[in-house]
Each structure stands twice: as C-alpha cells, then as structure tokens.
Amino acid sequence: MNLAELQELHSLPFFDLISRARAVHEANFPAGKIQLCTLLSIKTGGCSEDCAYCTQSARYETDLENQRLLSKETVMASARAARANGSTRFCMGAAWRGVRGGTERFNQVVEIVKEVSSLGMEVCVTLGELGPNEAVTLKEAGVTAYNHNLDTSPEHYPNIVTSHTYEDRLRTIRNVQDAGMSVCCGGILGISETITDRLRMLEVISSFNPQPESVPINSLMPMPGTPLANNPQVDPFDLVRMIACARIAVPGAKVRLSAGRTRLSDETQALCFFAGANSIFYGDKLLTAENPEAGKDRELLAKLGLETLEPNPSLAAPETDHALPASPCCSTAGCC
Ligand code: SAM
Ligand code: DTB
Ligand code: SF4
C-alpha cells in the first residue's frame, strides 16, 4: 500500500478503521488464536551501534549488565522451558551490529540454532547485519524467520541511528529473503516520529516482495541513560490504529504486539487483538526489559476467549510475486 492509501486508512474514524482491519484479519487467520513467542537475549549489551532507544548500546551509560554469548546448554534449557510453557516460537536476540561467517561467535550461534530447531518450535534469530552467505548458513541450520526491524521511516531513521543506515537494513532483509528465510520486520512507536513516519515505514514494509511473515509493533520502553529515556508514552488509540493499518497493509503476516505491553491496560491489548494483532512475546522478560508475567497473560487470553496458535516449524518463506519488483526498496530518491 502506498503512503496516500495508508494516510486515508489511518484517518478513518476509529471504529471504521478497526472494523476494516477485523475483516482482513478474519479473512486471513483463524479468529481467536494468538501465537506465543518467547524471547531470549543470547548476548547482552556492549553493542557498537548507537540506536537511540536501546539500552544495549555501549555508547550510553545504563545500568545494564553485559553478558557474553550464552552456552548452548543454557540456551537449550531456556528453549525447553519456553516450549513447556506453551510457546511455539523461540526468538534469540544478540546485541551485535552483525555477524560474519567463519568467526567463532557465528559458528557458536549456528550450533545453537541447530539444536534449538530440533525442539519443534519456530526458530527466529535477530543478530544484526547479515551477508548472503551467513543468511544461507542460518537457513540451513534451521532458522525459520530472521528478525530485522526497520523501526521507522527512512526519513526519520538517521535521527535515531547514525552508526548504520536504512539501506544497510534493507540489504540484510534482501539477503534473508534470497536465502529463503521468512522475514520478521517491524518497528517502534514513540521514538519522536510523526504519524507520517509510521505510515512511511508501513509503506516500505508492505512493498517487500514477498511480504514479511511477521510484523512486530513495539512501543518504546524508555530506558534510563538512553537519549529517548524521557519520551512520552504512545497514545493507546494511536497504537491500535497502527496495528489496524499493519493488519490491512500486510494481511498475511502475524502482527506481533511486542515491547511495551507492561504499560498497556488489558482493554488496550484487547483492542489490539481485535484490530489484528495475533502474536505476543510471552514470559516475564523481553531481551533486557520487562514483559507481563505469563500468568497474567494467560488470564487475559482466557478472559477474552483467545486460544494459542499451533507452531509451524517448517514455515515456508512467503512466495515472491514475480509481477512485482524485487524488494526491498524504500522508494526514496537516491536511497537504494
Ligand atoms: N541488534 C539487533 C538489531 O538491531 O536488529 C537485534 C536486537 S534489537 C534489540 C531488536 C529490536 O528491538 C529493535 O530493532 C527494536 O525494534 C526493538 N527494541 C530495542 N530496544 C527497544 C526499546 N527500548 N523499546 C522498544 N523496542 C525496542
Ligand atoms: C522485536 O521487534 N521486539 C523484540 C524482538 N523483536 C527482538 C525486542 C524488544 C526489545 C525490548 C527492549 C529490551 O528488552 O531491551
Ligand atoms: Fe545494537 Fe540492535 Fe541495540 Fe541497535 S538495536 S544498539 S544494533 S542491539
């Protein structure tokens, strides 16, 4: 969908927008099913990058305790616990700018992925920048989806990150798609962006060919010591509007109501699920930040009559539409 179409959609009266999104949701997914994903930070802090929202950047004075790459045994214990608790997707995140083949850390991650993928859950990793060969190696090791967010519009991105570019992000996404992995790509609300920035991001994401398999929508968790520590909370109705627009713009993707749920009421989350969110991070920790307790989430899902979605570990990457140009491109003159 292009920006003008998204702007028209976003400015609909609230109930018209969420009704439209609901219809798209029901046409594409079983109603009343939510995917549970567990996140684990396998390497924490000390990152070279300067993403203004991130507590893991080495450039900011935060209270975060750095942690080297976890052992395979530690990761497996956490993955088994996640499966036992009902998660069907296990997502491992590392605070790196990227990974390079032939390095010890990449080999270690590949060994971890091989073992985690034997558990029958969907396996997602987010390790930063990837080249084409690294992407193929991860796919062969058993990764189902690679998370690499664009986070905001191409225009606002340089206000938030200067140590790498939007084009770097798009290149990695292309490498992931070429290797046959599914792409998980979304963004953050509350990082001093405008509504137009949010919709521009959706315009870019919806132009991917194939479209992403999942779209995480994070709300900024303001981290003390980072440049965005004092940013105000996102208006809950704006969050619901964004979820609805994502559902309509990327109809076949899981829309993941991601970081920031600790500050959302049950009622706001219910509206997000109505408007098309059908995946959450489950378990009381994200990468470094807090997430609602699992028991509280189970209670909420039960109250709403929502069930959990089965895993699809052999998840095929969505088909490329050959009638459309290869993605990704942000359609900014001179950008790609
Ligand atoms: N280093 C890798 C990268 O940048 O792609 C992977 C980890 S990074 C923490 C993954 C995503 O988490 C970011 O792209 C951003 O969308 C989200 N994120 C990080 N810090 C956040 C925060 N304080 N609040 C909300 N979302 C955040
Ligand atoms: C995504 O879009 N959100 C997750 C996952 N992908 C890796 C990460 C959220 C991080 C929230 C802040 C933290 O835990 O440090
Ligand atoms: Fe590093 Fe990723 Fe955090 Fe940016 S978002 S500082 S790349 S861990």
Query: Residue 161 C-alpha to ligand 3 middle, in angstroms?
Result: 9
Active site residues: 47, 51, 54, 91, 124, 184, 256
Compute the distance between CA of residue 77 and CA of residue 74 in angstroms, rounded to an integer.
5
Q: What is the pLDDT of residues 20-44, one digit of tens each?
A: 999 999 999 998 999 999 999 999 9
Query: Residue 141 C-alpha to ligand 2 middle, in angstroms?
Result: 23
3-class SS of residue 95:
coil
Contact (Cβ atoms closer than 8 angstroms) between residue 179 and residue 220: no
328 has pLDDT over 60:
no
Contact (Cβ atoms closer than 8 angstroms) between residue 210 and residue 318: yes
What are the structural domain ranges in the chain? 3-301
Query: Residue 222 C-alpha to ligand 1 middle, in angstroms?
Result: 12
Q: What is the pLDDT of residues 192-242, one digit of tens each?
A: 999 999 999 999 999 999 999 999 999 999 999 999 999 999 999 999 999
| Pocket mutation for ligand 1, best pick of 54, 149, 171, 285 (most atoms within 8 Å of C-beta) | 54
The pLDDT confidence band at residue 323, using thresholds 50, 70 and 90, is: low
Q: Mind giving me the DSSP string for 155-192?
A: TTHHHH--SS-HHHHHHHHHHHHHTTPEEE--EEE-SS
Query: Highest-confidence range of 179-188, 313-322, 325-334, by mean pLDDT?
Result: 179-188
The pLDDT confidence band at residue 310, using thresholds 50, 70 and 90, is: confident
45's torsion region: left (phi>0), alpha (psi -120 to 50) or beta? Answer: left
Q: Which ligand is nearest to the CA of 57?
A: 3
pLDDT the model gives residue 335 = 47
Shortest-distance atom of ligand 3 to CA 50: 6
- Tell me if 291 CB under 6 Å of ligand 2: no
3-class SS of residue 33:
strand
Compute the distance between CA of residue 326 and CA of residue 208 in angstroms, rounded to an integer.
7
**What does the mean pLDDT of the chain come to?**
94
The pLDDT confidence band at residue 190, using thresholds 50, 70 and 90, is: very high
The pLDDT confidence band at residue 326, using thresholds 50, 70 and 90, is: low
CA angle 329, 286, 69 (to 5 degrees): 85
pLDDT the model gives residue 318 = 59
Q: Which ligand is nearest to the CA of 39?
A: 2
Compute the distance between CA of residue 51 and CA of residue 164 in angstroms, rounded to an integer.
9
Q: What share of the chain is helix, strand, coil (3-state, %, to 5)?
A: 40, 15, 45
CA angle 176, 196, 57 (to 5 degrees): 55
The pLDDT confidence band at residue 11, using thresholds 50, 70 and 90, is: very high
- Retrieve residue 257's tokens: 């109501």
Q: What is the pLDDT of residues 116-148, one digit of tens each?
A: 999 999 999 999 999 999 999 999 999 999 999
Shortest-distance atom of ligand 1 to CA 187: 16
pLDDT the model gives residue 316 = 55
Give the residue among 38, 113, 37 at the shortest CA–CA distance from 69.
113
pLDDT the model gives residue 314 = 58
H helices of 261-318, in order, are 266-274, 294-304
Query: Residue 285 C-alpha to ligand 3 middle, in angstroms?
Result: 17
- Retrieve residue 46's tokens: 């000390």
Ligand 3 neighbours by CB, cut-off 6 Å: 47, 49, 51, 54, 56-57, 95, 97, 128
Place of tokens 């095929």: 316
| Pocket mutation for ligand 3, best pick of 49, 96, 220, 228 (most atoms within 8 Å of C-beta) | 49
Mean pLDDT lowest among 29-43, 116-130, 248-262, 316-330: 316-330
Alpha-carbon separation of residue 142 from 26, 86, 195 (angstroms): 30, 20, 37
pTM: 0.94
Residues 6+ apart with CB under 8 A from 166: 150, 154, 157, 158, 330, 335
Contact (Cβ atoms closer than 8 angstroms) between residue 161 and residue 211: no
Query: Residue 175 C-alpha to ligand 1 middle, in angstroms?
Result: 20
Compute the distance between CA of residue 305 and CA of residue 311 in angstroms, rounded to an integer.
19
Find the mean pLDDT for residues 48-70. 97
Compute the distance between CA of residue 79 and CA of residue 247 in angstroms, rounded to an integer.
29
- Tell me if 147 CB under 6 Å of ligand 2: yes
Residues 6+ apart with CB under 8 A from 332: 154, 155
Alpha carbon of residue 30 to chain centroid: 21
- The CATH topology of domain 3-301 is TIM Barrel (3.20.20)
